[in-house]
Amino acid sequence: MTLTLPDSIRDRFPLLDQVVYTASCSQGALSTEVRAAYEQYLTDWDEKGAPWQLWVERSESARSRFARLLNADTDEIAVTTSVSAGVSSLLSGLKVLGDRNKIVMSDFEFPTIGQNVHAQELVGVKVQHVPAASDVTIPLDRLAEAIDEETGLVAITHVCFRNGSLTDVKEVIRIAHEAGALVLLDSFQAVGAVDIDVRELDVDFVVGGTLKYLLGSAGLGFLYSRADLLPGIVPTQTGWFADEDIFEMDIFDYSPSATARKFESGTPPIPSIYAGVAGMDLMDEIGIAATEQHIKGLTAQLVEGLDRIGAKMVTPRDPSKRGPMVAIAATDDLALAGALESDGILAAPRDGNLRLSWHCYNSEEDVEAVIKGLERHSNLLAR
């Protein structure tokens, strides 16, 4: 069931009674459902002592929810504590690269990706960056030129965390696959606000988490791996939940799961799983497709307002090239965020810009409040 946005769901987010919340690109607002999920975790712990079987079942529930979210099979999903943990495990096992010992990445990646990729230089991997163009996009021709016969993996972000630029994911995947390279897609700034279908995209690996638009909390992520690639990947970074039989408690050999569980590590983040499943269930009820369209409408309203007050938008103006977040140039992003907070508007500063991100619970009135707030503090806007 898809709900009418945002009036039908705003009462589930108590914070919205106090502030205008535009920081979903940093963390989604807390819902009553997620708060109740944490209470349920404590109740289960209190009443059952050490309910490991229940907690393992909860972890499997998270796997199923991630699979449904991405249109994947459950065996293609690893439940991780973070994108960092998933990517590190994946890269440690990518012997599938063979002689293709180069990784191509854009300059829009989050530090998790950049640092994990460059760590592979210690074992002989070459890394090549593709810089952005003046229109705040990663040019496909530059990317295609960088992907050659030595390239084993292309790492791209779905939506840039600094400026909201939306990657033409399908075209990048096509270019990479034609050159014989695999693609790792970081969808943390998209999943929950953008419909993602791994079959339709034909993508090899996808990572993300519940902290932002999936309305969960910190400490829970996922890694999707295409099933046919799994036999050729043997991670050297591992943990007991990656074993083929976690209850065998074997200390005498390394027998990773044949499924994407091989990318998992130690004890799952049980409290975050309770919260993450509740957040995903809520987004399933609200509807991601409906949320995506709602956000596009609010973003168009914001762009018109920014033009009206003369604010400089860093995010691409073309609607097809931007995600659920818009970045505005500031003379001092921290000062501007602080000034807005004093007005009851919470936004997320980053990289010299003020980031404004909309979600299912934001309204047209929120947008107008932000525009008026920016106009009041126009001395902190870069022109």
pLDDT digits (tens, 9 = 90+) for 344-377: 999 999 989 999 999 999 999 999 999 999 999 9
> Structural domain boundaries of the chain?
10-30+287-380, 35-283
Residue 62 C-beta-side C-alpha neighbours within 13 Å: 32
In the chain, pLDDT over 90 holds for what percent of residues? 90
What stretches of the chain adopt beta strand conformation (E)? Answer: 20-21, 77-80, 102-106, 126-130, 151-157, 182-186, 205-209, 221-225, 325-329, 345-346, 348-350, 353-357
Residue 27 DSSP SS3: coil
383 contact partners, CB below 8 Å, separation of at least 6: 310, 312
Torsion over CA of 288, 291, 293 and 296, rounded to 10 degrees? Answer: -130
- Which neighbouring-strand residues pair with 345? 20
As a whole number of angstroms, the distance between CA 271 and CA 144 comes to 43
Name the residue type at position 259.
T
Average pLDDT, the chain: 94
Burial of 127 (0-12, 13-18, 19+ CB in 10 A): middle
300-315: average pLDDT: 96
pLDDT score at 50 = 84
Render pLDDT for 251-289 as a digit per residue (tens, 0 to 9).
999 999 999 999 999 989 999 999 999 999 999 999 999
pLDDT confidence bin for 53, thresholds 50/70/90: confident
As a whole number of angstroms, the distance between CA 318 and CA 373 comes to 25
Topology of the domain covering 35-283: Aspartate Aminotransferase; domain 2 (3.40.640)
pLDDT score at 151 = 95
pLDDT score at 95 = 65
pLDDT exceeds 60 at position 130 = yes
pLDDT score at 97 = 64
Residue 224 DSSP SS3: strand
112-131: average pLDDT: 94
Residue 184 DSSP SS3: strand
Is residue 334 within 8 A of residue 348, CB to CB? The reply is no
pLDDT confidence bin for 96, thresholds 50/70/90: very low
Q: Write the class of the CATH domain 10-30+287-380.
A: alpha beta
- Written as six digits, the tokens of 148 are 């050659």
Helical axes 32-48 vs 270-286, angle rounded to 10°: 140
pLDDT confidence bin for 245, thresholds 50/70/90: confident
pLDDT exceeds 70 at position 1 = no
